[in-house]
Structure 1
Amino acid sequence: MASSPLPGPNDILLASPSSAFQPDALSQPRPGHANLKPNQVGQVILYGIPIVSLVIDGQERLCLAQISNTLLKNFSYNEIHNRRVALGITCVQCTPVQLEILRRAGAMPISSRRCGMITKREAERLCKSFLGENRPPKLPDNFAFDVSHECAWGCRGSFIPARYNSSRAKCIKCSYCNMYFSPNKFIFHSHRTPDAKYTQPDAANFNSWRRHLKLTDKSPQDELVFAWEDVKAMFNGGSRKRALPQPGAHPACHPLSSIRTRSIAFSSQTLMLLEEIFGEKDQ
């Protein structure tokens, strides 16, 4: 990766993405990926649940509505929408023909009018943020992402994952002044360089750094992008998770069932006492 514009004596070396870490299984191409045909229907298993996939613009995408109604059915629409936006996941709306294909495949109900599609990688990230543990990716020691933003006059810095242990951690070292900032403060920090152009922030706020802070390398390798996405998913607010319902679970195992059982038993005892009291009075 390119070095910082104004290197200092204590600058952190940016590891080369090709030798930094090995790509994981998610970055490996799936068998037959090059032979995908437009509107080809497939199936992907996420957390043990089959999800219908459809090839759109040469890329396999999954039905977000089906994911929301199965894997994420215990979460509200607003929770899923806000988390998707925070993770930078953009839905691609399918055409009427593609929507009909999804209906016939059982992914969408007949009454549906539209459907957003996301990639398999994006679906894994979204589900992991709700159902899994957002552990930091395995990166080499002293590794740093070369990042930049274009808010105001813009700025460039080194995002150090080892220092990112909370949402307000000062983990970004400015390449110009060598000061450390938290991600949500760094997007408001800028330096006016001779070739810089002022850009009015697009509704920038302290919670939108994931949208404004980007890798400086315009064509990074997939494993570097995936690691950056995993880092951004950490401390993403509302880390509340709910366990998936177990198929075939006995109703008596549900806590509400025991509450109902106790309330019914109590009501029966009350009725018996009332019958005894009124019965004695009648005698």
Structure 2
Amino acid sequence: MEDLMLPAFNPNLKRVLKDFQSAAVRSLSGPSNYAPAWMEGADLTEYRKALLLTGGAGGLKKEAAAVGENKLSEQTTSREREAFFTPPPLPIQQMPLFMPMDASKSEKSETILEGETISCFVVGGEKRLCLPQILNTVLREVELPQINGVCDELHIFCSRCNSDQLNILKMSGVLPWSAPSCGLITKTDSERLCNALLHRGSSLERSREPPSRNSFKVYHECFGKCKGIFGPELYTNPHAKCIACFDCNGIFSPQKFVCHSHKALENRTCHWGFDSANWRSYLLIAKDQEGKDRAQNVLDSMKAKFDFTSCYKRKEVGYLFTYF
């Protein structure tokens, strides 16, 4: 077995270390500035050599610096680990867009609903109709529980008028002076409500005549879409029933057809800006048919008929809907 090589032992090392320990206790500056009294000449030289071998105070400083570096490295690693596992901060939320109050919401106007003149206020760009007036005129033959059931089915919600609007309705004779409040319903929702109560089910008139040679397919995308067959020869007056529904064979005027739908009623859709009087902007040519160009020309001619205000010629009327 090979002999282990032991390092050379300096006889002064033990005495130097012992003096270091005692000097560290008695001296504020530690052993680095302490020189024992018994060391002179060659002994002092040996002492300094031993000090270099042990590292002396410099070695202690280096060791302390190494320990500090290790702790700093551990802290840095800990911070990096925390940054890795910490979820990113939430994005900065944008402030809502504040618009000036609608100054026109207390200006009373009128609109036509199912042939009846209804008082309304324009709020946010859309007409809001007086609900009690609708119940007493357009829906006077319909029971209140049935009306409430359809409102729940179509998710129709009414707002209450403010004090200025209430006073205007009272002064104009629309409401009695004793009325404590008044509900307002948008023009879009009033069209949906009246169509569901008055123009759906067994009350529909069915088309008995087969389509003529000049008939073509049309459709609309309002309240869930619907397809039909338009008979140009039947359009003899503004309210003529000239469009037969594909699904139920019910026959409608163009203004009533754009409110009619079957499959997807879009009950959870926020509708805005619909007005059946603008049916010319909603009625479109179906693409799955021959002779689309000829049919488009006939439809354009039909839309120009009985357009006493020429609204369709001047501009296209918008209709928006949003899913939620």
* Structure ranking higher on relative contact order (CA contacts 8 Å, 6+ apart): 1
TM bin, normalised by shorter chain, reads: 0.3 to 0.5
What TM-score, normalized by structure 2, do the two folds share? Answer: 0.32
What TM-score, normalized by structure 1, do the two folds share? Answer: 0.36
* Richer in helix (by share): 2
Find the structure with the greater CA-based Rg: 2
